Amino acid sequence: MSIVAVGSVAFDSIATPFGRVDDVLGGSATFFSLAASYFTQVRIVAVVGDDFTAEHEYVLKKRGVDTRGIERAKGKTFRWGGQYLDNPNEAKTNFTELNVFEKFQPQIPVEYMDSKFLFLGNIHPSLQAAVKLEMDKVRLTGGDTMNFWINGTRAELLDTLKLINVLLINDAEAKMLAGEHNLPRAANKVLAMGPQALVIKHGEYGATIFFREGAFGLGSHPFRAPALPIEEVKDPTGAGDSFAGGFMGYIASQEELNREVLKRALFYGGVMGSFAVERFGTERLQNLTREEIDARFQVFRELTHLE
């Protein structure tokens, strides 16, 4: 079943111990859409500038991503520059140029309105809420946020969280959102804000999913999925968005919506995140095969004794 991904398309300039690249295709919606495209039909909603060419669009189209929701605006596409020279797990931002993304107002094509799944990428919470309210017939809505919105637009974010089924954030964001240093207590406080499930990403240590009591089945026990050991992390940019794409893409490919599906989706999220970091930008996600994905998932099964 199809999934609509709302977020950013960007050009990234990245420096890591393995080299440097300039103006490579990136952005939250790009990483998410490419990762999810290996599981289901993806429809993207974003804005780009005059510098976004047919060649750039083809990266998405050749993976079958529907690009009719990409708005063209006069000006430059969102640009971000960062480096991972001191700490491979934390980006040091060199510059952020919002450009056309600064005035982004998501426009949902009428052809997208029959989509059953929705992912709200890291944009202003009021924009996330507007999209969700417009697409009120979806089966499941996933969402992302960050410390900037948690600190600066808390009231709007709290309203948006009531509309999201599954929230995907990292450890620090969960603790900040909840105002709680203990992670399990923080997770329970976030779940009380609205989401039925909370996925907390631990970077190189995997991810944990917490369920609200009674959501997606009985019980409320969390479930932890480890990360795969990766020999070379060339570029961590987009790992979290790729994780979300694998997670949501797998869920959208399944007939049932239950805890077992969401738990298995954690592993597919980890698989797609592990591929993303092996090359700069989206290069690795552009040239995968489903056989490679399933083979890496099998490694996960053997590591964790997943049935």
Q: What pLDDT is recorded for position 86? A: 78
Residue in the block written with tokens 């799944």: 117
Question: What is the residue extent of each domain of the chain?
Answer: 3-304
In this prediction, residues 151-177 reach a mean pLDDT of: 96
User: What residues form DSSP beta bridges with 118?
Assistant: 4, 141
Are 177 and 150 in contact by the 8 Å Cβ rule? The answer is yes
Q: Half-sphere exposure of residue 67, counting CA atoms within 13 Å on the CB side? A: 20
Residue 149 has pLDDT above 80, yes or no: yes
Structure-block tokens of residue 186: 């923080």
Question: Distance from first CA to last CA of the chain, Å, rounded?
Answer: 25
Cα–Cα distance for residue pair 274/99, rounded to 1 Å = 30
pLDDT in tens, 181-213: 999 999 999 999 999 999 999 988 899 999 998
pTM exceeds 0.85 for this model? yes
Helices (H), the chain: 28-36, 54-61, 125-134, 147-152, 154-161, 171-178, 183-191, 239-252, 259-276, 283-286, 290-304
Find, among 45, 193, 15, 36, the residue nearest to 106 by Cα: 45
C-alpha R_g of the chain: 18
Count CA atoms closer than 13 A to 105's CA, side-chain side: 1
What's 3-304's CATH class? alpha beta
pLDDT digits (tens, 9 = 90+) for 220-269: 689 999 888 777 789 999 999 999 999 999 999 999 999 999 999 999 99
